[in-house]
């Protein structure tokens, strides 16, 4: 009996899953510095205003609207090297990404000091945009890689799970910096400074931050080089012709796809919610709870459900459907955050453990989407190929990645808008008022509740690829693979 084309382009082993997960672990080692640490570093070490930070983040995303599609077309049209079409970029970007990550946190003489505000703003802007450009060189090829690693829907679902595990593991080390890079503020007489709520004021310290950043950047570089060796491309695609208007045509097809737009909006809101909580919680745990160890504890509550879900979710997605499982999960996450909002009248010391428990409930719900997001994105691209006969993975993932960066903008607007709304005092030696702190807690809980509720609505109502639809896609994909192989547009 003749082996199917899907079977010939699948058959992943443990090494394949490990190598694939390692890329996102390496990327998240440095990306987590941005999502968790950079915002508070900018206000507390560089002493930048929340308004400037928000505008800088928005300007960087405007540039990404140009930069990301360019990288996507490069991936689609450049001739593959002997290392393949996508995995070669892991080798090229490893050292530049490490360097760009460190530069964001280097405090040169004068930077962040009185009288050097303009220099600080320029330096922060240049290094942040540089990091974003280099990170794009990693993320777009990585997003496209799954389509040539395997064509089997079940294996792609497992790849998405492993990618999420890699991302979670890569996001943990920064929490050690966020938890321990603080010291109690002392007055001129050497006494501990006490805030209006009777708690000791703590300040972020530069030395442990920069040491941790350098270590994480070096580890990221080594892991990317290892991932380059471990990954393998089973489908060898031919470069797309460099035709005039081809990029515009490919993007138009993406925006006509209900599935692609729905999953892109979901990705945008997911990253916005994750980045908001990771960034804003550093303020909440430092200023409201006065318990910086909660940075590590809250993320443990958020990511620990993966230890259980990694075994249960692939089967649930196969039997129930990725869309169905994710929609219910994210609705539960929205409900948990809404409950936290209604508990805002509790005294912080009594609320602390309830907060962490509901973080765990929210983490269980979000894990369903986090682990299946990339498989659902690949399903959406398969759906476009089946309906139109066109497939431009690099362009598709550049647009998908841009939606995720819009999520960063949304997070920046939410974080810095919340800081402005609560009149956060970022000047050196500033102390927050009780009213400020109460507003901080309200915004820290209601904003994620709204973001996750919108995700649930999109998945329940707008995303069309139910379990039945995905099964039908597999049949069409087998036919398309056969035709592409016979027409010599792909090699196996």
Residue ranges of the domains in the chain? 5-491
Q: pLDDT tens digits, residue range 131-145?
A: 999 999 998 889 888
Radius of gyration of the chain (CA): 23
Residue ranges of the chain with pLDDT lower than 50? 1-2
Q: What SS3 string covers 319-363?
A: HCCHHHHHHHHHHHHHHHHHHHHHCCCCCHHHHHHHHHHHHHHHH
Report pLDDT for 99: 97
Report pLDDT for 488: 66
pTM of the predicted model as reported, rounded to 2 decimal places: 0.75
Asked whether the beta carbons of 149 and 309 are under 8 A apart, the reply is no
Which residues are within 8 A (CB) of 117 and not within 5 positions of it... i.e. 6 or more apart? Answer: none
| DSSP E strands, 46-181 | none
Asked whether the beta carbons of 373 and 263 are under 8 A apart, the reply is yes
Q: How far is CA 226 from the centre of its chain?
A: 21
Report pLDDT for 242: 65
Give, in degrees to the nearest 5, the angle at Cα 375 between 374 and 378.
90
Report pLDDT for 486: 66
Which residues are within 8 A (CB) of 55 and not within 5 positions of it... i.e. 6 or more apart? Answer: none
Q: How far is CA 39 from the centre of its chain?
A: 15
Which helix (H) or strand (E) segment is 372 a member of?
A: helix 348-388
CA distance 305 to 360: 8
Asked whether the beta carbons of 83 and 232 are under 8 A apart, the reply is no
Phi, psi of 203 (to 5 degrees): -125, 145
Domain 5-491: which CATH class? mainly alpha
Report pLDDT for 183: 84
CA distance 288 to 355: 12
Phi, psi of 288 (to 5 degrees): -90, -55
């Amino acid at each position: 009996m003749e082996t199917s084309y899907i079977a010939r382009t699948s058959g992943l082993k443990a090494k394949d899953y490990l190598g694939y997960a390692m890329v996102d672990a390496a990327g998240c080692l440095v990306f987590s510095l941005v999502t968790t640490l950079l915002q508070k570093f900018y206000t507390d070490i560089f002493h930048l205003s929340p308004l400037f930070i928000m505008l800088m983040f928005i300007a960087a995303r405007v540039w990404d609207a140009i930069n990301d599609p360019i990288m996507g077309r490069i991936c689609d049209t450049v001739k593959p090297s002997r290392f393949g079409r996508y995995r070669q970029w892991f080798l090229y970007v490893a050292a530049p990404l490490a360097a760009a990550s460190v530069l964001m946190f280097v405090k040169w003489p004068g930077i962040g000091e009185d009288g050097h505000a303009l220099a600080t703003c320029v330096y922060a802007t240049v290094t942040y945009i540089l990091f974003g450009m280099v990170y794009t060189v990693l993320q777009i090829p990585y997003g496209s890689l799954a389509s040539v690693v395997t064509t089997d829907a079940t294996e792609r679902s497992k790849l998405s799970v492993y990618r999420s595990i890699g991302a979670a593991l890569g996001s943990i080390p920064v929490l050690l910096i966020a938890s321990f890079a603080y010291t109690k503020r002392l007055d001129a007489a050497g006494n501990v400074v006490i805030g209006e709520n009777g708690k000791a004021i703590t300040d972020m310290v530069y030395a442990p931050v920069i040491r941790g950043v350098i270590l994480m950047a070096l580890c990221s570089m080594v892991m990317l080089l290892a991932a380059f060796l471990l990954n393998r491309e089973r489908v060898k695609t031919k470069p797309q012709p460099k035709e005039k208007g081809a990029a515009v045509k490919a993007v138009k097809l993406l925006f006509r796809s209900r599935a692609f737009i729905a999953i892109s909006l979901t990705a945008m809101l997911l990253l916005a919610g994750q980045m908001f909580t990771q960034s804003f919680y550093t303020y909440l745990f430092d200023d409201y709870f006065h318990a910086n160890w909660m940075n590590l504890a809250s993320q443990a509550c958020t990511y620990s459900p993966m230890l259980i879900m990694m075994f249960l979710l692939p089967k649930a997605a196969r039997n129930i459907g990725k869309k169905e499982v994710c929609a219910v999960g994210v609705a539960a996450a929205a409900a948990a955050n809404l409950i936290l909002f209604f508990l805002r009248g509790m005294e912080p010391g009594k609320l602390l453990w309830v907060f962490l428990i509901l973080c765990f409930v929210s983490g269980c719900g979000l894990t369903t989407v986090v682990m299946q997001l990339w498989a659902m994105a690949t399903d959406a691209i398969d759906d476009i190929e089946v309906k139109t006969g066109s497939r431009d993975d690099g362009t598709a993932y550049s647009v998908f990645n841009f939606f995720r960066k819009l999520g960063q903008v949304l997070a920046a607007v939410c974080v810095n808008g919340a800081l402005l709304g609560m009149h956060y005092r970022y000047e050196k030696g500033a102390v927050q008022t009780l009213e400020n702190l109460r507003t901080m807690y309200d915004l820290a809980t209601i904003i994620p509740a709204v973001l996750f509720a919108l995700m649930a609505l999109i998945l329940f109502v707008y995303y069309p690829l139910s379990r039945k639809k995905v099964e039908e896609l597999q049949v069409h994909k087998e036919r398309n693979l056969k035709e592409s192989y016979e027409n010599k547009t792909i090699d196996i």
